[in-house]
């Protein structure tokens, strides 16, 4: 897939423009985002993503168009799981609802920056060492197994090593001061709870980047498609949060479905490497991957609806996909 510098420049410019629009929206007077506003923004971002995928189909052919949609579907589903973690962080730190969209926007921008870095590293590693497919595959299988074991548990942001370290090493106040990270009281500088929230969000973004980038490379090895799928999936995350805020709790089996998807893509990556070494070993076609991923998400969603109808007390968990939090810095 030959992508010109002009196409790269236009795509990155569109992403930056959309980030700018989000920044302007979030910088207005803090307010609770209502369902209608969230629905319109979600439709806007999904529409742009579908339009981009159709453009890839028409410009570069059905193979790359299918790969984009498969990568986008993987990233969008992982982004929903990312939302679970954001919900837990916002709730456990008791962030006032009027500041939720600002926190989410900061989290999304950090996620975009971190994923761009990991995409560049991953693309270089794959170009230099084809065995990287096996490494990425092993990471996804290990993550998928961990999530499968703990799909019905929630991570505790207070277990985060960085959060614990900061709590014990810097002067802090207990109350929020708007969206400020630091305040000066009686001549002394204090960190606010918002600072800990951003630290928790940033470390979560780092861990999700470590999981999601190999997953995207599992359905396409094209750096342009990996970047665009990640960018478009993340850009709509803030609006999706407010749209699904009341429904996230109903997706009981989403984390379980995602664990199976991660393991499936991990196996696909390993088979891709094996096919390059031994032609008689088949690899999993992208169209089949797209079908499997969509089917797993559909089954997880339908099963969740059935479960919550039969048991109104059932609720979704984030899954301990970030169970390795406590290992950061230790």
Model confidence pLDDT, tens digit, residues 66-116: 999 989 988 888 777 677 777 777 777 888 877 877 787 787 788 888 888
Q: Domain boundaries in the chain?
A: 5-327
Reported pTM: 0.74
Mean pLDDT on 214-228: 88
- Is residue 157 within 8 A of residue 166, CB to CB? The reply is no
Distances (CA, A) of 68 to 16, 63, 181, 299, 310: 20, 9, 38, 22, 37
Least confident of 83-87, 179-183, 232-236: 83-87
Query: And the tokens for 139?
Result: 């990471």
3-state secondary structure 156-209: CHHHCHHHHHHHHHCCECCCCCCCCCEEEECCEEEECHHHHHHHHHHHHHHHHH
């Amino acid at each position: 897939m030959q992508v010109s510098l002009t196409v790269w420049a236009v795509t990155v410019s569109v992403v930056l423009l959309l980030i700018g629009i989000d920044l302007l929206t979030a910088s207005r007077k803090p307010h609770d985002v209502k369902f209608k506003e969230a629905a319109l923004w979600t439709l806007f971002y999904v529409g742009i993503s579908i339009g981009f995928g159709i453009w890839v189909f028409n410009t570069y052919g059905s193979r790359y168009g299918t790969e984009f949609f498969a990568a986008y579907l993987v990233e969008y589903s992982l982004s929903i799981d990312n939302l679970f973690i954001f919900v837990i962080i916002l709730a456990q730190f008791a962030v006032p609802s009027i500041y939720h969209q600002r926190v989410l926007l900061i989290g999304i921008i950090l996620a975009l920056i971190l994923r761009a870095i990991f995409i560049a590293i991953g693309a270089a590693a794959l170009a230099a060492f084809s065995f990287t497919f096996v490494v990425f595959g092993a990471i996804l299988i290990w993550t998928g197994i961990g999530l499968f074991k703990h799909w019905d548990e929630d991570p505790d942001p207070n277990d985060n090593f960085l959060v614990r370290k900061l709590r014990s090493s810097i002067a802090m106040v207990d109350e929020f001061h708007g969206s400020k990270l630091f305040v000066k009281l009686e001549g002394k500088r204090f960190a606010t709870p918002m600072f800990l929230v951003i630290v928790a969000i940033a470390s979560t973004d780092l861990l999700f980047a470590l999981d999601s980038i190999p997953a995207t490379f599992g359905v396409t090895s094209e750096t342009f498609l990996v970047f665009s799928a990640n960018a478009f999936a993340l850009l709509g995350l803030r609006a999706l949060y407010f749209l699904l805020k009341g429904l996230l709790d109903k997706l009981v089996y989403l984390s379980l479905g995602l664990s199976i998807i991660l393991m499936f893509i991990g196996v696909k990556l390993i088979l891709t490497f094996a096919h390059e070494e031994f032609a008689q070993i088949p690899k999993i076609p992208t169209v089949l991957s797209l079908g499997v991923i969509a089917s797993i998400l559909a089954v997880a969603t339908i099963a969740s609806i059935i479960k919550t109808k039969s048991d109104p007390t059932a609720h979704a968990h984030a899954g301990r996909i970030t169970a390795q939090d406590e290992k950061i810095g230790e």
